[in-house]
Amino acid sequence: MEFASEMVVKATTMGLRVEEVPTVLHPDGRSRPPHLRTWRDGWRHLRFMLLYSPRWLFLYPGFLLFGTGLAMSARLSTGSMTVGAVVFDINTLLVSVAAGVIGYQSLWFAILSRAFASREGLLLPEHRVRRFRNSFSLEKQIVLSFGLFLVGLAGLIFATGQWRSSDWGPLDPVSSLRSVIPSVGMMVIAAQTALGSALLSVFSLGKPTIYEIEI
């Protein structure tokens, strides 16, 4: 089912000319029912087209989630927000940080899937991915990850200081989680950055030569 779409997709990405040749179809005379399955074959077809479009599958949804989550997290970290009769507080902050983390992971998936597709010859090399790889090397990404981790750790240390000031007793969750949730989210993003950059550097390596050894 995917073969026909693969020919069209690859011809389009390679800039080939596609023409339609008229033909006449005739019944094949088979008596058995069709072997195609609507949902199974339809899903395989849709999955194939999505894998060939990491921009719509990962990049754009990732930008939407990460941008919305980051904006809401930054606003709710300073205090609650009231819109009409609705009050947004730490529950919304937790959801916003989670959306930002998922969106950031989706952005990395877009970069990694595009790099892998180019490496395996499924898609043509993308100059934006190459430029990103050259501008943000593995060493720079590790330094950035370490900096983000330290910022998140500082937030946890600040929350621990608040806990200590209350003689290690119970804390007001509204005030304590306002610093803990963003700090944990930043540390998770730091880990995602380090792991994603490490995998991207692996994709930049040349394909190994496989030798056959007779024993």
DSSP codes, 59-101:
IHHHHHHHHHHHHHHHHHTSS-EEETTEEE-HHHHHHHHHHHH
Taking the C-alpha atoms of 14, 41, 24 and 17 in order, what is their torsion angle to the nearest 10 degrees? -10
Whether residue 209 is predicted with pLDDT greater than 60 in this model: the reply is no
Q: How far apart are the first and last CA of the chain?
A: 42
Tens digits of residue pLDDT in 69-123: 999 999 998 888 999 889 999 999 999 999 999 999 999 998 888 888 777 776 7
Q: What is the rounded average pLDDT of the residues 131-145?
A: 84
> Which comes out higher in pLDDT, residue 212 or 115?
115
Predicted confidence at residue 148, as pLDDT, reads: 93
Tens digits of residue pLDDT in 24-47: 888 777 777 767 777 887 888 777
Chain centroid, CA 24 distance in Å: 45
Predicted confidence at residue 149, as pLDDT, reads: 95
Q: Distance between CA 190 and CA 178 in Å, rounded?
A: 19
Q: What is the rounded average pLDDT of the residues 176-205?
A: 89
Predicted confidence at residue 212, as pLDDT, reads: 52
Bridge partner residues of 82 (DSSP) = 87
> Which comes out higher in pLDDT, residue 212 or 124?
124
Tens digits of residue pLDDT in 141-183: 899 999 999 999 999 999 898 888 888 888 888 888 888 999 9
In which band, very low, low, confident or very high, does the pLDDT at 19 lie, cut at 50, 70 and 90?
confident
CB 6 within 8 A of CB 48: yes
